[in-house]
Amino acid sequence: MTRYTKDHEWVRMEGDVAVVGISDYAQQQLGDVVYVELPSVGASFEQGKDMAVVESAKAASDVYAPISGEVVAANDALSGQPDLVNGAAQGDGWFVKLRVTDKSQLDGLMDQAAYDDYVKGL
């Protein structure tokens, strides 16, 4: 199940690893993504802290860790093809995979229906 933050990050658990990216709504608001700066494997992040940067023709935006953990993989394909974020923000355009330190943090995030309601109000 995919969970969302109010800052438009998503997280999906695959076993003990969390796959993280920005929502389809976020990439639509950014427009054409031209650059993505990802953290290094081994970096650790607390929930809500700056983790990555995504830049578009319109703006640069910080990406926050939706859940605490250690980076076990970064999507290196984004360095050569940042537009993957626009084409498949919640698929091939994922940012990092994290080894989660506190799965209970997922409980505080929105499910798809709650996130859909949230973005309708923006």
pLDDT tens per residue across span 78-93: 999 999 999 999 999 9
CA 111 remoteness from chain centre: 15
What's the length of the chain? 122
Predicted structure pTM score? 0.96
Please state the rounded mean pLDDT for residues 105-112: 97
The pLDDT assigned to 39 comes to 98
Confidence of residue 60 (pLDDT cuts 50, 70, 90): very high
Residue linked to tokens 């923006």: 122
Output Rg (C-alpha) for the chain, integer angstroms.
13
Pick the CATH number of 2-103 from 3.40.50.300, 3.40.800.20, 1.10.10.10, 2.40.50.100: 2.40.50.100
Model confidence over 12-48: pLDDT tens digits?
A: 999 999 999 999 999 999 999 999 999 999 999 999 9
Q: What is the pLDDT of residues 91-107, one digit of tens each?
A: 999 999 999 999 999 99
DSSP 109: S
Neighbours of 103 (CB within 10 A): 13
User: How many angstroms separate the Cα of 65 from the Cα of each of 32, 43, 50, 58, 118?
Assistant: 22, 12, 6, 22, 19
Q: Where are the domains of the chain?
A: 2-103
How many whole angstroms from its chain centre is CA 61?
A: 12
* 39-54 confidence digits (pLDDT tens): 999 999 999 999 999 9
